[in-house]
Amino acid sequence: MDAYDGGSDAPRGPRTSAGPEAETPAPPAEDAVPGPRAELPTAEADAGAGAGAGVGAGASDAARDAPAGPPRADAGVLPEPTPVDPSPAPPAERPAWPELTPPHAAPRPEPAAAQALAPEPRTGVAALSPRYQVGAALALAVVAVAVCVHLGMVFLHVAPSNTVTKTHGKAIDEWVYPEFEQNWKLFAPNPLQQNIAVQVRAQVRTADGGSRTTGWYDLSAQDGRAIDGNLVPSHTEQNELRRAWDFFTATHNTDNRSVGVRGALSETYLRRIVVLRLERGGAAGAGGVVERVQVRSSTSNVTPPKWSSEKVSTSPVYRVLSWWPVPTAEAEGGVK
């Protein structure tokens, strides 16, 4: 049923309602064709429609009960917005977000489960890249091979004569001598308990044509002073003179006579060493030349400890060799 406004010639559009909570129709679009003005779904709009207006079957209860009156000028106009209270609204509760750790704060400890699952940091060779791991493995392999070869050579050197030492004895000696020489004097039934010093003196032809004989030079004492306090002593200072004297005594008897084919070689070797030492020490003097040399050994027993009851003589025993003429080439610093 259509309702018309008695105070206005404009017809009112149909309004249907299922009850007091009828839906408000959407306002027409701006570009829509003008038509009947839709009435406002409020009690004031129904009251301003005028007295005697018909009420449709779908009119709301508020529209029936509203008193009649003259039409309002603001009919069909939306109400003004409600003014906003300038006072600030109470702050709403902040959501319970997890607090962020500032950059300067200490990191929070991880749970035990996360720590258990975290991989342990690599150390040692495992921490290297694959390229360097291969290099380290090769270096270790080379060192291991060198150590095995050295131990094998030293074992064959000190072992009794066998097929390997007879076949490859020269190669074994070249590997062991002179740096890795081994001997068993320390563990022998009668270990070495003597100090042996090699001494030399020279007969010098002076610059004016005269001749003089020098005093005894203790060459072993010179080597001892050079070794004492030296963390890395020279192999020459440690073994050259000692080995030369051992070579001489092994090829000569107690009368200083040669007992083998190597006797002359041992004499030449010892003579060249002592002449070189004399030249370095300036024994000939300015313009002098060494013509002959004489070598002797001074052997004295090691003093026993205080707790020992052993009694030994500490007086030195000398073994004096004959005079050896020095070739001109050796006397001038050359080799014959």
Q: Which two tokens stand for residue 251?
A: 């090829």
Of residues 133 and 186, more confidently modeled: 133
pTM confidence score = 0.50
CA-closest candidate to residue 314, choices 195, 185, 217, 186: 195
pLDDT band at 2 (very low <50, low <70, confident <90, very high): very low
- The predicted structure's pLDDT at residue 333: 59
The rounded distance, in Å, linking the Cα atoms of 162 and 174 is 18
What's the pLDDT tens digit per position in 49-99?
A: 444 444 444 444 544 555 555 555 555 555 666 666 566 555 555 555 555
Number of residues written out for the chain: 336
Distance of CA 148 to the CA centre of its chain: 27
